[in-house]
């Protein structure tokens, strides 16, 4: 069987479970999701088997954790990786409200200090609950550590902050509809895209020219807007064009966006070795992902070699994972 690696795959930690988690009600309302989300064992492995997934790179779901809670979360994940070394790998959870602490936790988790387990990078929310983004100089300490360790940071959407919600919510729509529009219906994706543009414009990629950033959901709409971004950003005074940074510093995954249309765009304007398959477990189904992969294979849009790249090789190279 040909390998598959997925890398936007979430769990909810025991520390997060013990906290109130205002959005947990959303998760609990989805049948079967809660049990999959909070587990790191047989249920997850069975779903991976059903979707042909060889290895899941597991990360925490949306929501801030303080430094001690992050350490507990990462220790829990490390134990699961230790128990299933061929099937699970880890992305660290980082306390992003405290950039120094985030850098420290990245070092602890990715340099093999956790009893033989080394995580392959980190997945962070696109902003903290208080609405802090990472384009400021206080995060240089984290980018420095990520480049020193040569591990990618995955920027993942999260629930709108109070300010963002207040600025965008319509008085004509009920809160649950508005939340969906501002979350996985659209807003999450534009939020990550805007964040990447902010980081670029603020010179993060000038200061850290080898920084590796991963974004999900078929590139969070950036590929579709690439030409306009390229034109606008030529006035931002950066050392390299956005296009060069896109080609050299960013990777994208397919997570839970099961259409070939965005991929057609991506294949035209993005380097093919940047495209990595992912499911977004438990919010998307591995079986739907597998059906999408089969549709892709039958479409003739990619060569056999490119398909292998998307299925696992591109991720294996970026994350230095051995799945054979």
Give the interface with Zn ion as residue ranges (CB under 5 A).
8, 280
Per CB under 6 A, 256 contacts ligand GRE: yes
Q: From the list 7, 56, 61, 281, which residue makes contact with ligand GRE (rule: CB under 6 A)?
A: 61
When CB distances are held under 5 to 8 angstroms depending on the partner's kind, the choice from Zn ion, ligand GRE, none that residue 191 binds is none
Q: What long-range pairs does 221-228 form, CB within 8 A, spacing at least 24?
A: 221/189, 221/190, 221/193, 222/193, 222/196, 222/246, 223/252, 223/262, 223/265, 223/266, 223/269, 223/270, 224/262, 224/265, 225/193, 226/269, 226/270
Q: Nearest to residue 92, comparing CAs of 150, 141, 152, 140?
A: 152
* Cβ closest to Zn ion, residue 102 vs residue 215: 215
Q: How far apart are CA 321 and CA 174, in angstroms?
A: 45
202-223 in b/e form (b: 16+ CB < 10 A) is bebbeebeebbbbbbbbbbbbb
When CB distances are held under 5 to 8 angstroms depending on the partner's kind, the choice from Zn ion, ligand GRE, none that residue 224 binds is none
Residue 288 CB, shortest distance to Zn ion, in Å, is 14
Per CB under 6 A, 283 contacts ligand GRE: yes
When CB distances are held under 5 to 8 angstroms depending on the partner's kind, the choice from ligand GRE, Zn ion, none that residue 34 binds is none
Per CB under 6 A, 10 contacts ligand GRE: yes
228-244 in b/e form (b: 16+ CB < 10 A) is ebeeebeeeebeeebee
Residue 217 CB, shortest distance to ligand GRE, in Å, is 7
* Cβ closest to ligand GRE, residue 62 vs residue 219: 62
* Cβ closest to Zn ion, residue 8 vs residue 145: 8
Residue 156 CB, shortest distance to ligand GRE, in Å, is 6
Per CB under 6 A, 280 contacts ligand GRE: yes
Instruction: State the number of binding residues for ligand GRE (CB under 6 A).
Output: 7
Q: How far apart are CA 243 and CA 271, in angstroms?
A: 11
Which residues of this chain interact with ligand GRE, rule CB under 6 A? 10, 61-62, 184, 256, 280, 283
């Amino acid at each position: 069987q040909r390998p598959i690696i997925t890398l936007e795959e979430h769990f909810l930690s025991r520390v997060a479970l013990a906290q109130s988690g205002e959005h947990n009600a959303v998760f609990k309302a989805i049948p079967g999701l809660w049990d999959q989300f909070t587990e790191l064992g047989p249920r997850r492995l069975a779903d991976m088997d059903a979707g042909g997934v060889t290895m899941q790179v597991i990360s925490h779901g949306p929501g801030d954790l303080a430094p001690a809670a992050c350490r507990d979360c990462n220790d829990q994940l490390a134990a699961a990786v230790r128990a299933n070394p061929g099937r699970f790998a880890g992305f660290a959870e980082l306390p992003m409200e405290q950039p120094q602490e985030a850098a420290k936790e990245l070092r602890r988790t990715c340099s093999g200090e956790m009893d033989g387990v080394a995580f392959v990078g980190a997945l962070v929310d696109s902003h903290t609950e208080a609405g802090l983004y990472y384009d400021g100089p206080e995060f240089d300490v984290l980018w420095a550590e990520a480049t020193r360790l040569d591990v990618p940071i995955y920027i993942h959407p999260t629930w709108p902050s109070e300010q963002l919600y207040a600025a965008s919510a319509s008085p004509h729509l009920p809160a649950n509809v508005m939340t969906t529009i501002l979350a996985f219906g659209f807003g999450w994706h534009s939020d990550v895209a805007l964040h990447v543009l902010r980081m670029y414009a603020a010179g993060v990629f000038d200061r850290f020219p080898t920084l590796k950033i991963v974004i999900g959901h078929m590139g969070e709409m950036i590929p579709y807007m690439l030409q306009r971004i390229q034109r606008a950003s030529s006035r931002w005074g950066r050392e390299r064009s956005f296009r060069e940074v896109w080609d050299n510093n960013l990777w994208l995954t397919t997570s839970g966006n099961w259409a070939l249309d965005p991929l057609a765009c991506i294949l035209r304007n993005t380097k093919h070795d940047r495209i990595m398959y992912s499911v977004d477990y438990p919010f998307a189904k591995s079986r739907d992902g597998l059906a999408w992969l089969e549709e892709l294979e039958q479409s003739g849009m990619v060569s056999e070699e490119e398909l292998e790249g998307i299925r696992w090789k591109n991720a294996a190279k970026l994350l230095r994972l051995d799945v054979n």
